[in-house]
Structure 1
């Protein structure tokens, strides 16, 4: 028992680094948003919309959301505007997650790695929803963040569209967020 507690605390200490991984988005007060903050609101978003997701394993969906960016604790986040299909990001994040989870007891380590792999594959209904909600949380943050001059709001109108069109609820949420994005584009143009 003592070894398990010590190993789990070692993992949690390393996972804490996610609080210092900054993303390209800003909070409503203008501070860079951390990946941990993004993951927290992603989980909150899933929780408050859960009633509109009949037949979904909510516990599994939330666990996927919790671990989906955990690999970024070691190598950081790559903004969507800088990502390319062959940038090696997925393999790097997987290797970082394996390193991060190494101290954990085999059962929990296996669960975390399995949930991350499920998210990456995006085949199960829960993984598809996690990917869609992940995009929506990012887009929502961009509509309310105090982003700097030149922030590319137009990029958001196409960002993650395939993921957010995969479920009627996600598409309905996306419609509202896109309207807010268009308003931000109008506000930005008026300030120039």
Structure 2
């Protein structure tokens, strides 16, 4: 890697650091809004601790997809799940933001990240299916344990991302336990 490539890569990493300040609607167990970076960290941790239950899966690819799945949020932020709509333009905006974010990177790295993001968005490979499912599971897990504001709609979690979490037996089994915790929180 040339000195120029290192400088361009560092420029990208400096911009990606913004994910640490992009806040989501979920709250930590201490009551603080979680960041997109924190969500992505625990998403990757979930994959790590359940990896032995995923025979035949390219784990390195799954981790890479998980790491890049929300990178586009570094520029325009996160849209809470309850505010998302199928044709709200969010996907196109996040793709444009991701393209701007990775622009400084060397061509091969930029192309690789964009390819992983497109794979996640399409959700057609086994690794992308799992990434999407684990992404939903991490979100509802956070909602089930976070110190949420009064009036938080726990019932929303019981249907949120169901098609994604029903796509693999392991995801469905994890979902069953998180849903039980959600029902307990609902009282």
Give the TM-score of the pair, scaled to structure 2: 0.99
In structure 1, stretches of 5+ residues that fail to align are: 187-192
SS of the residue corresponding to residue 159 of structure 2 reads: coil
Match of 1:147 in 2: 148
Alignment partners' CA distance in 1, 2:91 and 2:146? 27
Alignment partners' CA distance in 2, 1:184 and 1:107? 46
Once the two structures are TM-superposed, the CA of residue 17 in structure 1 deviates from its matched residue by: 0.3
Match of 2:177 in 1: 176
Match of 1:116 in 2: 117
SS of the residue corresponding to residue 24 of structure 2 reads: strand
Match of 1:97 in 2: 98
Alignment partners' CA distance in 1, 2:55 and 2:45? 17
* Equivalent residue runs for 1:66-105 within 5 Å: 66-105=67-106
Match of 1:56 in 2: 57
Post-superposition CA distance 1:122-166 (Å, at most 9, x none): 000000000000000000001110000000000000000000000
In structure 2, stretches of 5+ residues that fail to align are: none
How many equivalent pairs are there?
186
Match of 1:40 in 2: 41
SS of the residue corresponding to residue 149 of structure 1 reads: coil
Instruction: Please identify runs of 4+ aligned residues in structure 1 that moved more than 6 A.
Output: none
Post-superposition CA distance 1:49-97 (Å, at most 9, x none): 0000000000000000000000000000000000001110000000000
Alignment partners' CA distance in 2, 1:123 and 1:87? 22
Match of 1:189 in 2: none
Alignment partners' CA distance in 1, 2:123 and 2:35? 24
Is 1:136 the counterpart of 2:155 in the alignment?
Answer: no
SS of the residue corresponding to residue 124 of structure 2 reads: coil
Once the two structures are TM-superposed, the CA of residue 112 in structure 1 deviates from its matched residue by: 0.2
Alignment partners' CA distance in 2, 1:117 and 1:35? 19
Alignment partners' CA distance in 2, 1:15 and 1:65? 15
Alignment partners' CA distance in 1, 2:113 and 2:151? 38
SS of the residue corresponding to residue 157 of structure 1 reads: helix
Match of 1:13 in 2: 14
